Amino acid sequence: MTQLPRQPREIEAESFRRIEAQVGAHGLAPEVWAVVRRMIHTTADFDYLTIARVHPRAVAAGVEALRAGRTVVTDTRMLLAGIRSRLEKLGVEGLCFIDDSQVAQEAARRGITRAAAAMDKALPHLAGGIAAIGNAPTALFRLLELMKEGAPPPALIVGLPVGLVGAAEAKEALLHQDIPYITAAGPKGGSAVAAAVINALAIMALET
């Protein structure tokens, strides 16, 4: 019987070794590969090698924002929970307004999703920070609307909403923005993948 690693660091190292072995030569810059590799590691889905879309300035913008202590706003509590420990090491505040009572009231009044209304609530915290969206296409659409209306943009948008209704379209719209982004083509995504991206950036920010 094959002896498998038992300790978390050993398991992660072996996972990365197997990813490297299966992928082989990929042609990605080291810092971009660090992000994409962690997306694959989190999902066991090698499609991310070809569907990941990383703006040329995205990694540098994200690492710089984290080192500067800029706020990270997420669309779900699950995503926030997945990145909290590394954000704390960096002294970075993480915020999520999805369960805010005012957001719920505003969403009901306007007939929109709470995820979309939460982006309005998050607006004062987004300028120069990082917006991380891993669940709701409506959150990403609303963020792009706010920017179109003149809202100061985040330093980086991690836009990875998941699903068969609106997710691919929201991410396609993100690709046409003149702002650093990390996303993926098609319907795949999710809070765990968005957390993987933020964690990859945080690891780089903590290295120096």
Q: Dihedral of the CA atoms 95, 101, 104, 105 (nearest 10)? A: -140
From first CA to last CA, the distance across the chain in angstroms is: 41
Give Dmax over CA atoms of the chain in angstroms.
61
- Token output for 27: 């042609």
DSSP labels, 99-142: T-HHHHHHHHHHT--HHHHHHHHHHHHHTTSEEEESS-HHHHHH
Q: Which of 26, 41, 125, 176 is catalytic?
A: 41
Rounded to whole angstroms, the Cα distance separating 156 from 59 reads: 9
Among this protein's residues, is 41 annotated catalytic?
yes
Pick from 94, 46, 34, 45: nearest CA to 69: 94
The partner residues of 159 in beta bridges, in order of sequence, read 133, 183
What is the set of active-site residues?
A: 41
